[in-house]
Structure 1
Amino acid sequence: MYNKNAFTIDEHIAQLQERGLVIADKVLAAHYLSHVSYYRLAGYWWPMQADKAQHKFKENSKFEDIIHLYNFDRELRILIFDAIEKIEISLRTKLIYHLSHEFDPWWFQNIAIFQDSGALIETLANLKEEIERSKDIFIKEHKKRYKEDLRFPPAWKSLEMTSFGSLSKLYGNLKNTIKSKDTIAEELGAVNHTYLPSWLQSIAQIRNYCAHHSRLWNKNLPGTPKILPRPPHRWLVDVPADTQKLYLHLCIIRYMLNIIAPENSFALKMKELLTRYPSVDPNALGFKVNWENEALWN
């Protein structure tokens, strides 16, 4: 049975020092622990522990290095979130445009074009909640003007309300015979529907980590994106085998960005971020040696 009581900040600092963590500035440590919870920071000092059962730190482990890692990770999430925004808006635009033309403006309610009706009903339930909560003028005006129409607003209104995760699920759940599914994949550089669903699932998971300020540094990611054997656009010579580390997922984000926003500065900002934090080991994120020399990142 768990029977530990809450520690004060001073008690936390004393415990960390007893376990071998070097804290040169206790005032700084107290400041961070009063604004960033102990267990949020613990994810950054976990690899610094030599004995994880007793929580003993490796020699010369410093609190300042933990803060550098924390700040690096925070800036990394902001950079990635900005990049994912462009992918999300592009995906939403293409779903609305292609499927509304292939079928009609209410294609997303058409069970016949989806593989899993149960999953679609769940997605639509979430979308309905978003629409009902919406304060957007175009949604309020639609409800007022077409109150007799019990359908969702058309795709170009409704899908502006939904999350990247729901957009990803809508796309992945489309039957593989739907022409627009391949068209969208081709326009986003994924050739056909075989690869894009896993890319979107991966990016949606990373977006959620960013949105909830969760640690990305040294995290094993759950998604397993499928890799194109012969990508039509700039890609990697040295493709990482480890799909759990962030680097491969960043490569997919960069690949898609190069199509959606060719003048993007994602690569430059990534290089600048790693330069600003030289104590951060890129290997913990899965970065390959000389990654910046790959055509994808130039």
Structure 2
Amino acid sequence: MLHKRLRSWARRQYKRRFPLHYAKDKGLQPYAKPFADSLVLVQKLQADGLIVANAPDAAQFIERNNYYRFKVYLRPFLTSPGAKDFIPGSRFEDALELHEFDEELRRFVLGLTSTIELQLRHKLDQRITVYSSDPFWYLRNKHYRTFPAQTLRMARHTLERSHEEFAQHYLNKYHSGVGGEFNFLPPFWIVSELLTIGQLDYLIRNFDKSSFDNPTPTPNQLDLLARDFGAYNIGYLQKWVEYVRNIRNWCAHHSRLWNRHMATPPNVERSLSKSIKAASKHRLYHSLAMLRIMMKSRGVDDDIKSTMIMLFTKYPAADANKDKMGFPSNWQADPFW
């Protein structure tokens, strides 16, 4: 393992220090494709077999959007992965439909992840603050495998520059009594409002589980937190929160979501019907199931089934390609939904 890491490090160093030699060794060519305006790009698509009903409108759409980004919505209509020619009968409008479907899908899923983020902040505070009887528990080194100093510095930076009334009120009246560089950070129920879901994820992944033990036979306090969100233990919840963070970032940054390859959330498949198999475990279907489990465990309506039915009805091109999202053809028959 050590030798493998050393070889990998050596390759990275060679690539960084001698980029032209590395490129020559790999047979890479200098990029020399000329700039093409939107109308030329539409004409190229037509030459490759794509039906474009209204070339000026298509060119105007490409002018307003990043063509490279739009190309991913054309891929399902290619004759094979990596090919340039399109399946006979493929239309520009079908790819545009997938693009619009993805836009609506991202807005919906972003709302789900935002709800989970709020629930996670609240329940984490409730579980650990009550358990520890310490509103500043998150500042104690004993609760972490690696103390999250940089994350707390970022929270402090946000607090000190915040114009929110709650932040100014605390800073002008209190301190924690903890001492050290984080002495002026507030209780966790306040600081949690300043943390991004990525920072929240970092805290959870760095918890030292042993510092949250309960007297047997009561489960560990972190496992109880996990069960608040439908996960069996904190290990599963840590993974789920990581995946929620990733999904949230893809949605917020307008990245392709609908047929993206995703990690399979652990311990989710057991909740789905064994007789209705997902077309792929590494697509959105399993991640939506994870979000549903988390929200249902918190007593929050998710509307996933009704929204997806509506979107598939509104966008037939997406419905025809739902297997690329991992959806089984008969997914609605699964009692899980």
1:227-246 correspondence to structure 2 within 5 Å: 227=267, 235-237=272-274, 238=276, 240=278, 242-246=280-284
Deviation digits for residues 93-132 of structure 1, max 9, x if unmatched? Answer: 0111111222212222222111233xx2333233334334
Residue in 2 that maps onto 1:271: 309
Coordinate RMSD, CA, aligned? 2.2
Cα offset, 1:53, TM superposition: 5.0
- Does 2:193 align with 1:165? no
Cα offset, 1:198, TM superposition: 1.1
Structure 1 unaligned blocks of 5 or more:
none
- Does 2:188 align with 1:155? yes
Deviation digits for residues 62-119 of structure 1, max 9, x if unmatched? Answer: 11001100011111111111111211111000111111222212222222111233xx
Match of 2:79, SS state, is: strand
Residue in 2 that maps onto 1:25: 54
Once the two structures are overlaid, the 10-residue window that deviates more, 51-60 or 254-263, is: 51-60
Cα offset, 1:134, TM superposition: 2.8
Flag the 1:214–1:27 CA change in 2: closer, same or farther, 3 A. Answer: same
Q: TM-score, normalised by structure 1?
A: 0.89
1:142-221 correspondence to structure 2 within 5 Å: 142-146=170-174, 150-177=183-210, 178=212, 179-221=220-262
Match of 1:143, SS state, is: helix
Cα offset, 1:153, TM superposition: 1.6
Structure 2 unaligned blocks of 5 or more:
1-29, 178-182, 213-219
Cα offset, 1:145, TM superposition: 2.4
Q: Which amino acid aligns with 2:273?
A: L
Residue in 2 that maps onto 1:108: 138
- Does 2:169 align with 1:141? yes
Flag the 1:211–1:112 CA change in 2: closer, same or farther, 3 A. Answer: same
Residue in 1 that maps onto 2:265: 225
Cα offset, 1:245, TM superposition: 0.8
Cα offset, 1:230, TM superposition: 6.2
For 1:229 and 1:272, locate their aligned partners in 2 and report how far apart those are by CA, in whole Å.
Answer: 24
For 1:287 and 1:230, locate their aligned partners in 2 and report how far apart those are by CA, in whole Å.
Answer: 16
Aligned residues: 291
For 1:161 and 1:102, locate their aligned partners in 2 and report how far apart those are by CA, in whole Å.
Answer: 22
Identity rate of aligned residues, in percent?
30
Q: Which amino acid aligns with 1:83?
A: L
For 1:289 and 1:267, locate their aligned partners in 2 and report how far apart those are by CA, in whole Å.
Answer: 14
Residue in 1 that maps onto 2:25: none
Deviation digits for residues 44-67 of structure 1, max 9, x if unmatched? Answer: 112322265562222222110011
Match of 1:56, SS state, is: coil
Flag the 1:214–1:127 CA change in 2: closer, same or farther, 3 A. Answer: same
Once the two structures are overlaid, the 10-residue window that deviates more, 5-14 or 153-162, is: 5-14
Residue 125 of structure 1 is aligned with which of 153, 170, 182?
153
1:52-131 correspondence to structure 2 within 5 Å: 55-103=84-132, 104-117=134-147, 120-131=148-159
For 1:94 and 1:288, locate their aligned partners in 2 and report how far apart those are by CA, in whole Å.
Answer: 34
Q: Which amino acid aligns with 2:335?
A: A
Cα offset, 1:211, TM superposition: 0.5
Residue in 1 that maps onto 2:326: 286
Cα offset, 1:148, TM superposition: 9.2
